[in-house]
Structure formats: structure tokens, C-alpha cells
A and B are shown apart, each in its own frame.
Chain A
Amino acid sequence: MAPSVTDSSPPSTTCTSENNLQQFFVLHKALPPNSERKSTGTGKTRRRINLSPSLPESLEKSEVERAKEYHELPYLKLRMEAFDIVWSKIESTIKDVLRDINNSVFQEINHWVRESFNTIRSCGMPNFAEATRPFPIVTDPTSKQIFTGLVLTKNMEFVDDILAFEELGVYLKSQGCHVANLSSVEFSAQNGIAGCLRSLLRQFLMATVDSADISILASWYMEQKNYDYPVVVIVDDIERCCRSVLSDFILILSEWVVKIPVILIVGVATTVNSPREILHSNALRHLSPCKFSLRTPAERMDSIVEGVLVKQCSGFSISQRVAIFLRNYFVSQDGTSTSFIRGLKMACVQHFSMEPLSFMLNKYLLEKDGQALGNESLPDLMLKHAFDLPSTRRNKLTEQTNEILAQGLSELKRLQNRWSTSVMCLYESGKFEKIRLLDIICEALDPESCKSRASDTHTGMEKDSSSDCLFQQYPSLQKCSIIYRAVRKVRDLPVEELHKLLKRWGRLTVDIAEIHEKVKELQSLLKSENGRSSKQDLNNTPRRHASQSQNMIEKETKSINEKAATLLACLIRDNMQPIECLTFHEIVCFKNVDELRLALIGDPRRRIQADLLEFQKILQCSCCSRSGNSLSPSMHDTSIMYNLAQEHGDLINLHDWYQSFKSTVLCPTNKKKHKSKQSPLTKKRKGTSELENQSEASFQARFCRAVMELQITGLLRMPTKRRPDFVQRVAFGL
């Protein structure tokens, strides 16, 4: 009963039955490089094989054919290349951002490492003969101290910090230290102390050493080129290490610390007290700790989002729904930037694998002055696709030429830059309210806000309108919105902070001349105000007069605050166009949030049950869907069984289950399952037809297989000795 799947598959899979019981086997080897080139050729032959006669041909053709048009053209390769370029840009941006954010801590740590090293050295250096003896030097107990940096990660999840510690290692290496990174997995009871030492030796000596002997390390350190540099051992997460192994490790290091000036850096996720709880007291007294802290995940996130999504390092962008999904994924899943970056990468991959024109991102990124396409022109099929995008149809472009597309793309880029400038200006003022950038983005990407703006007649910048008025005109920016709060904050800023803010705006708006000018204007206004106030402070004017003029100055700064807020509101109104409102945005913007969710978050527990309970929806067979809710004998056996199991409590009596299964399967008409369940025994006695006797074995076999399949999926627990006649249900409801 080989399923016809294998019939339509190439012969290589049909003859692998003997491979099924092999632990592993080589399915095939890579084609030599030259035959690999003609991948389109193989694609064609594959398609011919795939078309099994049993399939409704027309349906398959239209789907597969269309997919093929886009995927099997050389453009697929272009898209892959474009992905590589875009993602490597994003990745390096993230790396830089994270390095920058950690830089100050790293410098601090480096400084401390140097100091500690000097302290160790000041205790005296062993001579060569001493140092190469395979046992530690016995000196006074005070010299057995290990300088230990406790790096607080402020993060319950350690994934984010793995990278940070790797970077720290690289940084310290570049500063001339010998560095080894040990992961907490290496401090397991199973590997024991030998595992750690071996890993140390491997990293310092750059070679595999079979014996785990720390004296090898000591003699390595005595070599001329290694001497005079501190040895740093980084352990990423102390809380996940095995207590005794870590304690032993510290004891050994402390014995040897004169010969090998080891400085320990450990990551601590909870509090500074955790080493006290984890280590044995005799190990603990050898530590002389020093505390450092990394930035919080939220701060890290803001910098990543700024670098990747706002500053448009790659040209790739995401829609509001995707942004909200990623934010929720970050907040509700585990709060690690690693998961966010993974989500972003997935979005990027999905975009490039699904959007036929995404390869243009590469050129879009490089283009300087409206030459998005360079001299190349797109084939008609692609061009048609570009002008068939919803955003282009909305704008009813009459001409469909390469030039229009190129222009559209550079306009898109220009508007995108303006959007990021506006968002950054907002973020700067939002910082005073501790508003997260990701939250601002989720609002700033809202395509609805753009629609309401478009419906409003565009009146340009009104000099006298206050920021409040401006917002009233745009109902989507409601009072509770984050953007509103950020703008409001500008009005309440004290002079010094307003000054700082304007300075930052000045830097941000260099590209938008009209806004930049206004910022400059406000800056000079503020400066003159400041000048006046400070002058008055210097002059020893009478007290009453001073307070009066102080009042006036305050009033005037308030009006400057108001002006700044209005400026920001105008900036938002005129420049912060969400990407989803722009023509051709589909080429650079990923919108398919459902696809992303499915790829990122597998939900086997729910999905596998749903497969069984609603299998008709997936198989789309004609025989079972008719019967509606009741179970029909034509259904998949395991599906029948799982449906029947739903009627039991947490324990299922195997006998009852078998009888109801049998009666469901036997029943030629679609009897209600309840009915058949009530009288399984009577039915059994009644139905004495020969057919039943013959197929008793087959019913039992089908029952056994269905139980086995449910066991494989983990939806059942098998009978125990205590309850030999019952299986246990594991999942309750989807």
C-alpha cells in the first residue's frame, strides 16, 4: 500500500526502504559544480515528473505556473543576492550598534583588567624554573586571590548576552589580553572540571590537547610571546553553571594564579549576591570581585530599532502590522533582542522569497540621484507586476515605463528619509518622557493616519496654529497616542533641555531645508532669550524688577516651547508619511504578518490537534465533508479516534474506545456518534454478519495503528501497570 506520493516522486525515494532502518545514510551527494549551473533545466524536468495524472491539472497549473514564472527565472538568484547584501548590511549595523552601546562598559572592564594584572604582578613573578614545574607555587594565602569581574546582565534570558560576551572577548583580545570564552554548558557535572580545562587549553593553545592539565597552560604562558599579558577567562552565565565544577575550577585557578595571572569575568543575571549562593565558601574566599553592568534589553532594542528600522540602513522596511507583531513578539515572548533580530531576519527572508521585485532593493539602496534602475530595464512581465501593485493601482499611473518606476522609487526613498527624520525628531522629544522608539514606530507606521491626512485639505504650514489645533485636525493622532505625548512634552521642557533638543533637531533635519531653517530660527530665538536672561542675572538689578522680568522671560520661553511643539507637529504632518501610503512601497516593505507569524511561532500542540479534528478542511475530500459534524466511516482512522477521545474524561477506557471506534467504522449510514457509543456491546452482538468476523482483525489493526499514531504525536499516554485498561489524554481543547 505504498502511498501514491512516492509514485509521483523520483525513483531515488522509492528505493530507500532499506535505508529506513539505517541510523543514517547519505541520500545523495552534491552535484559537481558545472552541472549545478543549469538549475533551471532540472527544475523543468522535475515539474514534468511531478504532474501525476490523478491531479486536477488546471488547478495545479495555474498555481505552480505562476509561482514558476517568478521563482525559476534568473531573478530568483538576483533576489538571493539582494537578500545577502541587505541582510549583511542590517547585521553589521546591529553589530555596530551593540558594540557602541557596550563600548563604555568594555573600556571600564579593560581598565580594571589592567589594574588587576598589575596588582598580581606586584606580588612577584616566578622565575622560569619555578614556573615550569608541574605544580603550583606555594606562597602566602593572600596571593591566591582571583580578580573577578561580575558583569550584571540585567536580563533573565542569557541569549542576548552571549553576543555581548563574545564581543567583550574580541575587544579584550584587541587590547592585548589572552582571552578564553567558556559557556555555562561547559561547566556541567557531566563534563566535569576536565571539560573546562580542555576548552581553556583549546582556546589558548589553539590545538586539541588530550590531557586536561593546567600545568600545560602554565608552561604555555611562560613562553616569551605570551608572557606579560593578562589571561582573561570569560564565563557567560554563572547561574547556569554546575556549582561544584565552577567551585573546583576557581580553586584550581587560585592555586595557579601566580604562575598564570588569570582574571575571571562572569556574567550574572540576577544580583551581585548570586556568586555567594552558587559557590562553595572555600572557593568564594578566593574571589576579589568588582561590579560592572551592561545596558538593559530595552535600551539595546531602541538602538537596534533606530539603526535598522528608522535610519534605513538597508532600505528594507516593514509595515505597521509587522512592526506591532514584532513588538509583541519582543515583549511577550522573551524580551530578548535576539528574538527580535531573528524575527526581523525572518521578515526579510520572507520578503525576498515572496516579492518578485524585491531584488530591486539592492539597486534602490545604491541609487544616488534618481537612477534606481541604472541603465537596465525590466522585462515586461516584471514591469507589469510593478504597475499592478495595489499602491500603484491606487494612484492610477497612466504610463507604465521603466522611467516612471525609477522615478517612483527615488521619490519613495526621499519620502522615506523624511519619515525617518520626523520619527527621530519625535524620539528625541519622547526620550524626556521615556517613550520607547519601537512604540513610536508602531504609531508612525499607521497607514490610517495618512488617509485621514489626505482627506483633509492640505493647507500648508499655518503660522498661528498651535500644536493642539494641528492635532485636532488629524483625528488619528488622538490625545492618548504616544506621538501626541511626545509633542506635548516639548511644550513643558525647561530651557536647557529645549536648547539641547533643538540642537539635536538641528542635526537631524539637515536634509530638510525648510524645517532646518525653522529649527535654526528657534535656536537663535532661544539663544537671544538666554542671553537676555543671563545678562539680567549678571546685572545686579533690584530684586522685584528681576522677578518681574523673570516672569516675562518665562512667558517668552513658553512661547518658544509652543513654537517648537508646533514645528514638530508640522514636521509630522507634512513629512511623516507612513510607508504603506507610498507608491511602489511593496517593493521594499514587508507586510505579510501572517506568514511571518507562522514561520516564527510554530504551534504544534494546537495545530496537530486541529489537523486531526478538522482534517476535512485540509484534505478537502468530498466524502467526509458532507457529513458535517458527525463522524463518518470514511474519515481518517486516527481522526475518528481522536474525535471519539474528546468525549472521554482524562482517562479513556480502551475497551469502550475500541467499541465506539468499531461501530463508527462499521456504520454504513451516518449514525450519530452518541447513539453508537451508548450501546457498543449490544451492537457487537447484533452485528453478526460474516463481514464483521472476517474483518475483526482488520478493525483491531486499524485501532492499534490509530493508537500508535496518537502515541507518536504525544496526545496519549499509554496504559500503566496500575491502569492496564486505560489510556490517558494529554491535551484538552485546542
Chain B
Amino acid sequence: MSFEPKIVGFLCNWCSYRAADLAGTARIKYPENVRIIRVMCSGRVDPSFVFKALSLGADAVMVAGCHPGECHYLEQNYKAMRRFHILKHTLRAMGLEEDRVRLVWASAAEGQLLAEHIEKFVADVKKLGPLNWGHNWAENGDRLHALEAIVKEHEEAMEVKS
């Protein structure tokens, strides 16, 4: 079976979410891999949202907002931009491919553009393959055996009583 990535998309209420709406009403097709979460502004996206999505099984995360200079809240998408750069810098250090997070701009009129961004992103993530972050936490298989061995050894030692 081919790999269908799970992508979480944080779309801003004023531009990108409306672009997704427009894509829908205009019957513009894009892959269904992106699970869209509407936020009031791309500046609302805390890096922890991205970490949480990745740690819970997402293969990639997209953040989409109004074009620079067109933020409904004046300049919060610039904050999103700076946060995104710092986030990418940290993700690289954590050993993640930087293509697993992407920041795009799409205005309410750009349903077609958003669909193209998503299509491109899904294709790129497919090339990277599954992330499966939870596997990083699996400990060595002999852990339970080691714990049992400690209990057994201590029990045997206990028999020596005064």
C-alpha cells in the first residue's frame, strides 16, 4: 500500500481557511491528507502545537496565513514567520527533516494557490516517508527482563535474615 501521510494544517481564520473554503466551493481538488485546524491567526500557532502534532503521529505540519503585510491583526503573521524560523532551526537539531514543516501564505481569494501548496507539500512528504515519532521512545526489548532480574535477585538476597 502506498504511504498516505497524515498532515496537520493550521490555517488562519481570515485568509487561508477562507482560501480552503473557496477551493471547496470552486470544486478545486487537492489531496485529503491535510487535517485542517482553524486558528484565528498564524501568529497563534505556538511551536508546541507543531511538536504535539508530530509527537502524536502526524508526518508533517503546515501553517498557513495571510500574506506578509496583510495580517488581520496587523503584524502577527510576521511573528508566525519568526517563530517558524526558530522552530525549523530547533527541529533540524532534533534530527527532523526540515521539509516536514512548511509555512505558506494564501489570501482568501487564493483557493487555487492553497490547493497547489497542499499538493506540493503532500508530494514532498511522501518522498520523506512516515515519521512515526513515537518509535523513538521505545526502549530496548530487554528492559522488562532486567527489571524482573532485579526483583528476583533481591528476593533471593532477602532470604538471608538475622
Question: A and B from one assembly?
Answer: no
Name B residues whose Cβ lies closer than 8 Å to a Cβ of A.
none
